[in-house]
């Protein structure tokens, strides 16, 4: 059997410049499938702040099979062994948190790419390579098709960003607003003017390069404004926090009606 390995996300960004995204943070294949069936271009499967492991990840990627939704995984850390296992599970995109320097960003690219461009371990037996069924179809495509983003979450990363965006193999930059604000001394408060000025600085560095800029949103109006400024990927919801917000709203309505 012959396989094609074109990354739908790269095609969407190339043609439309914008992709819709949602967080899968419940470590659930059911909620992941719901998000994929809804039609999101990207589902960020979270392994940094969610309880899932590699086996859970595989079930979540299974849930998106046959859909145009790309499983983009937020890794737990910039660790080449963890990255290898995430990619072998079948992820077609990777978001690596807390990347602060050029050297750390280069390590991400090396971890993603097969030799001689990188250090990713070579095996035809994992899921991504179809369990040795025409594994070379995948291996020949993977270096070019896997979408790689790194997260800017500290002022150190901001100071090094002009050099980070020049690295071949870094496809996008993800702004983590809460982490960035917290690292600046404003715990979980990115609305502080100083933080907003820093976010604008990041935008001014990344957007002219043509690389994808991504972040979170608090509402669709917020996301729309960011898309119009040039962002390529915005997370519009989360399976956990969105359900929590909806549930609290219903309970408040019930209490308002019946006490």
Domains of the chain, earliest start first: 8-258 (3.20.20.60)
pTM of the model: 0.96
Positions marked catalytic: 49
Strands (DSSP E) contained in 60-211 are 70-74, 93-96, 147-152, 172-175
C-alpha of 224 from chain center: 19
Number of residues that this document lists for the chain: 259
Helix (H) or strand (E) holding 237, with range, is strand 233-238
- What is the chain's pLDDT, residue by residue, as a tens digit (259 residues)? 666 788 999 999 999 999 999 999 999 999 999 999 999 999 999 999 999 999 999 999 999 999 999 999 999 999 999 999 999 999 999 999 999 999 999 999 999 999 999 999 999 999 999 999 999 999 999 999 999 999 999 999 999 999 999 999 999 999 999 999 999 999 999 999 999 999 999 999 999 999 999 999 999 999 999 999 999 999 999 999 999 999 999 999 999 999 8
Helix (H) or strand (E) holding 141, with range, is helix 135-145
């Amino acid at each position: 059997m012959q396989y094609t390995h074109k990354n739908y996300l790269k095609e969407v960004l190339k043609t439309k410049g914008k992709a819709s995204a949602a967080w899968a943070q419940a470590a659930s294949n059911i909620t992941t499938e719901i998000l994929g069936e809804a039609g999101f271009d990207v589902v960020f499967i979270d392994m940094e702040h969610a309880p899932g492991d590699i086996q859970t990840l595989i079930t979540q990627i299974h849930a998106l099979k046959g859909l145009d939704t790309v499983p983009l995984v937020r890794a737990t850390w910039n660790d080449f062994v963890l990255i290898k296992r995430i990619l072998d599970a079948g992820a077609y995109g990777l978001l690596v948190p807390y990347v602060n320097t050029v050297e750390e960003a280069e390590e991400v690219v090396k971890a993603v790419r097969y030799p001689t461009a990188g250090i990713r371990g070579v095996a035809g037996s994992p899921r991504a390579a179809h369990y040795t069924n025409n594994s070379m179809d995948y291996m020949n495509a993977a270096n070019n098709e896997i979408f790689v983003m790194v997260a800017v979450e500290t002022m150190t990363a901001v100071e090094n960003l002009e050099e980070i965006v020049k690295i071949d193999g870094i496809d996008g930059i993800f702004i983590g607003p809460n982490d960035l604000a917290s690292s600046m001394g404003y715990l979980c408060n990115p609305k502080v003017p100083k933080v907003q000025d820093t976010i604008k600085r990041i935008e001014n560095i990344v957007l002219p390069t043509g690389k994808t800029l991504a972040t979170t949103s608090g509402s669709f109006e917020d996301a729309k404004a960011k898309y119009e400024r040039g962002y390529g990927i915005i997370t519009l919801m989360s399976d956990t926090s969105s359900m929590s917000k909806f549930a609290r709203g219903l309970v408040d309505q019930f209490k308002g009606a019946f006490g």
